[in-house]
């Protein structure tokens, strides 16, 4: 099976999950949602279903395990010869070796969340293209690949932005705002809008839906801090694909 064919299948699968366009996938998503809601209610009265992973702050519940099993069964039915590595089963000791065979690697709860949050196919397509280039190795034939270091999000826009302000992160690309520009500007950071709004007035940027933060940097012999920050922002925008939904403003 060609990689393009596999990608087309994954893209079509995301479309079906997002729009509940088939009864089979709609039922799968509904069952997973019910499991999550039921477990959420149980947590108020019991903690007996909590298991601790090696990371002491990363908890797994029986909900994650049940949702993963549902996804694994659905994949096995469609592609019986594909391998499957799930976050929860891997942590429990079911560790299939990673080989050159096609392998699905799944974080069950996040998968369900992605299925519910990507409301437009254009968004999913552009995100996938951007992630492929950010992680891709140009020496392996990935057009535009930059092999950027990965970082697991803190789960908070504010924490991510403050990490940029503190110099712990270099760049943060986001679709929400709040009071964060004030924090960044006070530390010498750079704040701007989308690819075509790097030099736009603050008022225009604040009314948009695309934002980029770049940490404070020292000047060099050839560039000022502002020039360096602008260059880094342009380099990011040269790699990622911007997308537009109906409720987004340029």
pLDDT tens per residue, range 192-241: 888 888 888 877 787 777 888 999 999 999 999 999 999 999 988 888 87
Write out the residue range of the structural domain in which residue 222 sits: 157-239
User: Each residue of 204-227: b (16+ CB within 10 Å) or e?
Assistant: ebeebbbbbbbbbbeeeeeeebee
Position 163 in a domain: yes
Position 13 in a domain: yes
Distance CA 173, CA 196 (A): 14
CB contact at 8 A, 241 and 129: yes
Is the domain of 161 the same as that of 111? no
CB contact at 8 A, 150 and 135: yes
Q: Who has greater pLDDT, 146 or 45?
A: 146
Pair of tokens at residue 242? 């911007």
Smallest Cα–Cα separation from 36: which of 6, 15, 67, 68?
67
Helix (H) or strand (E) holding 191: strand 190-192
Position 135 in a domain: no
Distance CA 19, CA 116 (A): 9
Out of 119, 140, 172, pick the residue that ends a domain. Answer: 119
Position 149 in a domain: no
Out of 68, 89, 119, pick the residue that ends a domain. Answer: 119
Q: Who has greater pLDDT, 38 or 13?
A: 38
Is the domain of 111 the same as that of 166? no
> Is a pLDDT exceeding 50 seen at residue 57?
no
Q: Who has greater pLDDT, 222 or 117?
A: 222
> Is a pLDDT exceeding 70 seen at residue 68?
yes
> Is a pLDDT exceeding 60 seen at residue 117?
no
pLDDT score for 218: 94
Is the domain of 13 the same as that of 101? yes
Pair of tokens at residue 170? 């270099």
pLDDT score for 221: 95
Pair of tokens at residue 205? 């940027």
pLDDT score for 74: 77
> Is a pLDDT exceeding 70 seen at residue 98?
yes
Is the domain of 26 the same as that of 112? yes
Position 193 in a domain: yes
Out of 69, 97, 119, pick the residue that ends a domain. Answer: 119
Position 142 in a domain: no
- Kindly state the average pLDDT of the residues 151-158: 71
pLDDT score for 23: 45
pLDDT score for 250: 43
Is the domain of 87 the same as that of 161? no
Is the domain of 8 the same as that of 98? yes
Is the domain of 93 the same as that of 188? no
The model's confidence at residue 10, banded by pLDDT at 50, 70 and 90, is low
| Highest-scoring range by mean pLDDT, 6-10, 189-193, 214-218 | 214-218
Is the domain of 64 the same as that of 111? yes
> Is a pLDDT exceeding 90 seen at residue 78?
no
Report how far apart, in Å, the C-alpha atoms of 201 and of each of 176, 177, 190, 210 are.
18, 16, 13, 14
Position 195 in a domain: yes
Number of domains in the chain: 2
The model's confidence at residue 63, banded by pLDDT at 50, 70 and 90, is low
Pair of tokens at residue 173? 């690309």
The CATH number of the domain holding residue 56 is 3.30.540.10
Position 244 in a domain: no
DSSP state of 20: T
Q: Which residues pair with 212 in a beta bridge?
A: 173, 192
pLDDT score for 37: 65
Distance CA 201, CA 198 (A): 9
- Per the rule left: phi > 0, alpha: psi between -120 and 50, beta: everything else, 3 is alpha
């Amino acid at each position: 099976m060609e990689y393009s064919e596999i990608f087309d299948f994954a893209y079509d699968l995301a479309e079906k999950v997002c729009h509940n366009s088939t009864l089979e996938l709609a039922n799968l998503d509904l069952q997973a949602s019910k499991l999550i809601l039921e477990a959420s209610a149980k947590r108020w009265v019991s903690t007996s279903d909590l298991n601790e992973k090696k990371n002491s702050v990363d908890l797994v519940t029986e909900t994650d395990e049940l949702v993963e099993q549902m996804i694994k069964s659905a994949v096995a039915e469609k592609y019986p010869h594909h391998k499957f590595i799930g976050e929860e089963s891997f942590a429990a000791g079911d560790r299939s070796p990673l080989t050159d065979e096609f392998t699905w690697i799944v974080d069950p709860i996040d998968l369900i969340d992605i299925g519910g949050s990507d409301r437009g196919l254009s968004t999913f397509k552009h995100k996938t293209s951007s992630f492929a280039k950010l992680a891709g190795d140009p020496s392996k034939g990935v057009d535009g690949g930059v092999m950027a270091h990965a970082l697991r999000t803190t789960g908070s826009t504010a924490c991510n932005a403050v990490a940029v302000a503190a110099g712990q992160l270099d760049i943060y690309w986001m679709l929400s705002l709040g009071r964060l520009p004030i924090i960044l500007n006070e530390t010498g950071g750079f704040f701007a809008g989308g690819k075509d709004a790097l030099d736009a007035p603050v008022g225009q940027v604040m009314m948009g839906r695309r934002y980029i933060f770049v940490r404070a940097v020292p000047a060099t012999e050839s560039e000022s801090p502002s020039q360096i920050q602008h260059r880094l922002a342009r380099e990011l925008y040269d790699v990622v694909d911007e997308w537009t939904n109906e409720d987004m403003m340029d």
